[in-house]
Each structure stands twice: as structure tokens, then as C-alpha cells.
Structure 1
Amino acid sequence: MTKITVLLTAFCLGSLSAIAQLTFPADGGNKKASVSERVGLTDVTIHYDRPAVKGREGKVWGQLVHYGFKDLGFGTSKESPWRAGANENTTITFSTDVTIDGKPLTAGTYGLLMAVQENDVTVIFSKNSTSWGSYFYDPNEDALRVTVKPLKDRPSVERLKYEFTNETDSSAVVMLEWEKWAIPFTVSVNLVQTQLASLRNELRGEKGFRWDAYQQAAAYTADHKTNLEEGLRWADYSINGQFVGEKNFNTLSTKARLLSLMNRSTEADALMKEALPLATLQQAYQYGRQLINQKKTKEAMALFQDLAKKYPNVFMSNMGLMRAYSAMGDYKIAADWGQKALAQAPDANNKANVERLLGLLGQGKDVN
């Protein structure tokens, strides 16, 4: 019994010598937050703490947030910018290379700092993303600086926040908003090159064991008229790759598109003759529309006439002939085929579309 008592006493004394690390809200009521958005294929994530105005309107910018660089009285830095938030370092992460207001920045995580002035703000991306606040800021660790204009006299925002605005497929404006100011900077990506890099990477994994993955990658290069030689290699592999390749309309027609874009029309035409017998009605119809868009109206007419023989008196065949005759400028015959298609419309949406096209023909307008 005495032995057990001694052990318990030793355990309790040992426990008291350590401080329990419990979790509480951040000091001063600041709230931790993060915001993330995908720009193209690039993930942009900001981690920050959200201070509140707390009745200090008119005393935030230039007072609570000091102007320029300042000795904060602690740490190793004698010229510290603002930490662009509260408490720990505000950080921003980019999953791929980006540009910030047109200046390049490599993928990675950065400390996000700001040197605020009354009429401009220097936004700093520091390679040091782990220090506390800006007390240890070192300009030698800057990866990038950009200067932006603050937006003033805006609707008041009580708690500091970051938002993504003005999004496009390849860019977004990151906006810090607090009190009546907003501080914007633009993140842009090279979407085509980022997409190509992603395709190369995915084709090295399990998706690279499928013909359709190579065909989709090849089609992307054709759609964007870029890296055509690389796209042609992908197209070839989708047809002939060991254990992967398959000859079908998609693979053959994609290669034909690339050959055509590379001014190898004789090879492209020969490949399409091989591809068309493998096409479904839907695939052949879409290819016929593609020919019309390329102003190859005679080829489109021949294709749609062949389809009508192979699939007589069906909705899509009649639609094809309507489009072909319209492209040739014979709106009366086109309308006759349109009426036949109208009677076979498979649903209300298709019926409404045919009626719309017939209306155009009645006005003497091409439906394509």
C-alpha cells in the first residue's frame, strides 16, 4: 500500500510540473480563417486571422495599421511591414506557378505582408511563411513585391477578410477588405500551359492506360491550336499504343484534326475516310456540322446524304439535310427537311429548336 501511495504522489507531482496545453480562442477575439479558390487548375489558399474594427473607425489605416515599415519594438526586424492580418503570419499558397499583377511567382507557400501608405500599398510575398507576424521580417527573403492602389470609402467591413472577385478562367482578384478600405491584387495563371502540364502528369498514372485519355489530351491541343506535335503523338498513341490503342471514330478523327491544323490535309482526308464508317449517327452528324462551320458545304452535303441513306427518315438525318441545304442557300428545300425533322422531334426542347430554325429559314436566313 505504501509503495502504491509513493507512486501516485510522484505521478501527481510530475503532472503539476507541466502546463496543460488546452485550446482557447485567439487572443483579442481575432478569428482564424482561411479562404481558397481554384483559378484554372491552380489552387490559391490564404490562411489568416481576422481582427475587428471595434469602434476604431478612422483609426485603422495609418494608426492601428502603421504606414510603411516600422520598428515594432520586438523581434529582429527594425523595419517591419504589416502582417496583413493578426497574430501569426498571414500565408498564401499557390499550387502552380502564377503571376501577380503580371509579375511571375513560383508555386509554393509565402508569408503575405503589406507596407501600407495612404495612396499605395506594397504587397510582399516572403519566402519565410513560418515566422510570427512581421517581427522577424527580412527583405532578403522577399520572393516578390508588387505595388497596388488601395480602394477607399467603401462600405464598412467590421472583421478583416479576404475574398476572390472578378474571376475568369485564368485569373482572379484577391481582395483584402477591412474597415472602409480594400487592397486588391490580381492572380493570373497560364491556363493552357498549366493544363498541358497536368495532362502530361495524369497520362503517367493509371489514366494513361486508357485510349480515351490520350484522345482527350490530343483533342485539347487541337482545340487550343497549341503543341500540335505533342498532340499528334498523343493521338497516335490513342490509336496504336500497346495495350491502350483503339481505332474508333474519336481517335481517328482527332488525329485527322491535328493533321489538318498542321497543313497535312491529304493525310487528314484519308484518315477521315477510315473514321466515318466507324461513327455513330450522332458522331457523324456533329462532324457534318463541323464541315459546315469550315465552309466545306459540298463535303457536308455528301456526308448528310449518305447518312440519310444509312439512317432513313430519322430525326437527326433530316436535321442534317436541313442544315446542308441551308448552307447551300436553298432555304425552301431546307425547310421541307426541317418539317420532316419537326414531326420526329424526340422531346419538347428539340421541337422548340426545330421551330426556331424553321422561323429563320422563313426569314431567308441560314440556320447554321
Structure 2
Amino acid sequence: MKRLLIILGIIAAVALIGFFTLRSWTKSGSPEAIAQVDQNGLKIKVDYCQPYKKGRKIFGGLVPYGEVWRTGANEATVVDFDQNVLVAGQPLDEGEYSLWTIPSKDGWIAIFNRETGQWGTNYDQTKDIVRVPIVSREHSPKAEQFYISFSPTANGTDMILAWDETEAIIPIQKRERR
């Protein structure tokens, strides 16, 4: 019995070391980042990973047009709203959501999904809460690394998704309580 416990302990230790080594390796190519805003009583926090361009064609290449993208790298990007909001005019309740997008040449679709914590390739459309069209435009200078930032607006903020020569804008406003 003692020998079995020692063997199981060794297997568990090797598995843990392997897990953390793999996690460290994947994060080195696309490091973790946090984007957040706290303005006019609106708090939004985004946990995501930042892939690099590395000389690749990004939109319409590495990230195909017309297909769901994890909007970052590694695990699915998670957005946390501290209150009920309007996202591109559509209501979304406070809470955590995974953020997905469907890029295209002429505009994008932003998707807020109730499932969080999954790897970024495990998208389940049946758990979508909101899908909204958003504007994309040329971004200059080119962004070698994907990033998410916020730009204040009169009634809220714009969440900006930028990579390479493209940025997509998700308008967010506080939703009045009824």
C-alpha cells in the first residue's frame, strides 16, 4: 500500500509539473493581460491573452473572415461588467461573459457568451447571450501584438480590439434601471 501511494504521488507531481510547464510555454507566446476601465460609475474588466503578429497575415489569414474567433489567444477572453449595460444598443446584464468575435472585411460581430473558463477553441453557440454588429476600421500604426483598450465616450466607453492594421469598436453604455 505504501509503495502504491508513493507511485501515485510521483505521478501526480510529474503531471503537475507538466501542466505548469505547458501553461508557461503557451503563455510566453501570448502573454496574459488585463484591460479595465472605471469611469462615471461604470467598471469593466477584461482578462485575455495577447498573441503576436510574427510576420503573419492576421485578418483573412490566421484569423479567417466569417468564422468565430476567440478574440485573443489561449483561454477564452472573459469580460466582467459590474452592472447592467447596453452593448452596441443591446441589453446585457451584469456579470462575466466570454467574448468572441466574427471578423469580416466590412464589419464584425461581437458575441457575449455565458460560458467562461474554457479553452479558446471550445465555443458553444447555444450559450450566446448577445450578438451585435460592430464597426471595424483601419488601425495605424500597425499593432504587432493584439490588445484591448477603452476610449471614453459621452455616455459610456468604447472597447477597442486592435491588432495589425485593424481595430474593432464595441460601444458600451450604462443601462438605466427601470
Q: TM-score, normalised by structure 2?
A: 0.86
Match of 1:61 among 59, 74, 94: 59
Runs of 4+ displaced beyond 4 Å: 9-12
Partner of 2:34, secondary structure, is: strand
In structure 2, the residue matched to 1:164 is: 150
Query: Does structure 1 conserve the Cα–Cα contact (< 8 Å) formed by 2:70 and 2:100?
Result: yes
- Cα deviation, residue 31, structure 1: 0.3
Q: Which runs of 5+ in 1 are unaligned?
A: 1-5, 70-80, 198-368
Instruction: Pick closer, same or farther for the CA change 1:43–1:26 going to 2, 3 Å.
Output: farther
Note the C-alpha offset of 1:132: 1.5
Write the distance in 2 (CA, Å) between the matches of 1:26 and 1:111.
23
More helix by proportion, 1 or 2? 1
Contact 2:139–2:162 (CA under 8 A) maintained in structure 1: no
Tell me, yes or no, if the aligned pair for 1:110 and 1:129 is still in contact at 8 Å: yes
Aligned to 1:134: 121
SS in 1 for 2:9: helix
Equivalent residue letter for 1:164: F
1:312 counterpart residue number: none
Counterpart for residue 15 of structure 1: 9
> 2-side partners of 1:146 and 1:65: how far apart?
19
Residue aligning to 1:182: 167
Where does structure 2 lack aligned partners over 5 or more consecutive residues? none
Please report the RMSD computed on the Cα atoms of aligned residues, expressed in angstroms.
2.2
Report the equivalent of 1:47. 47
Determine what percentage of the aligned residue pairs are the same residue: 26
> CA 1:26–1:47 in structure 2 vs 1: closer, same or farther (change >3 Å)?
farther
2:138 partner SS: coil
CA distance in 2, matches of 1:107, 1:17: 42
SS of 1:156's partner is: strand
Partner residue, 2:137: 151
Kept in 1, the 8 Å contact 2:42–2:156? The answer is no
> One-letter code of the match for 1:67?
Y
Q: Secondary structure at the match of 1:15?
A: helix
Distance in structure 2 (CA, Å) of the matches to 1:186 and 1:161: 16
Q: Is the 8 A contact 1:113 1:134 kept in 2?
A: no
Higher strand share: 2
Pairwise CA distance, 1:153? 4.7
Equivalent-residue separation in structure 1 for 2:4 and 2:128 (angstroms): 51
Aligned partners of 1:122 and 1:148 also within 8 Å: yes
Cα 1:153/1:106, change in 2 over 3 Å:
closer
Deviation at 1:154, TM superposition (A): 1.8
Deviations, residues 251-283 of structure 1 (Å, cap 9, x unaligned): xxxxxxxxxxxxxxxxxxxxxxxxxxxxxxxxx
Cα deviation, 1:310-362, whole Å, max 9, x if unaligned, reads xxxxxxxxxxxxxxxxxxxxxxxxxxxxxxxxxxxxxxxxxxxxxxxxxxxxx
How far 1:138 moved relative to its partner?
2.8
Counterpart CA distance in 1 for 2:43 and 2:141 is 29
For these two proteins, the number of residue pairs brought into alignment is 172
Residue 71 of structure 2 corresponds to which residue in structure 1?
84
Distance 2:121 2:15 in 1: 28
- CA distance change for structure 1 residues 124 and 14 in 2, over 3 Å: closer, same or farther? closer
> C-alpha distance in 1, partners of 2:125/2:119?
15
In structure 1, what is the equivalent of residue 93 of structure 2? 106
C-alpha distance in 2 between matches for 1:97 and 1:26: 37
Paired residue secondary structure (1:21): helix
Distance 1:29 1:138 in 2: 26
The one-letter code matched in structure 2 to 1:141 is K
Distance 2:166 2:135 in 1: 10
Structure 1 141/15 Cα, relative in aligned 2: closer, same or farther at 3 Å?
closer
Q: Is the CA contact 2:150–2:158 (under 8 Å) kept in the aligned structure 1?
A: yes
Structure-1 separation of matches of 2:137 and 2:65: 16
Bigger Rg, which one: 1
**2:126 aligned counterpart, secondary structure:** helix
Indicate conservation of the 8 Å contact 2:72/2:146, yes or no: yes
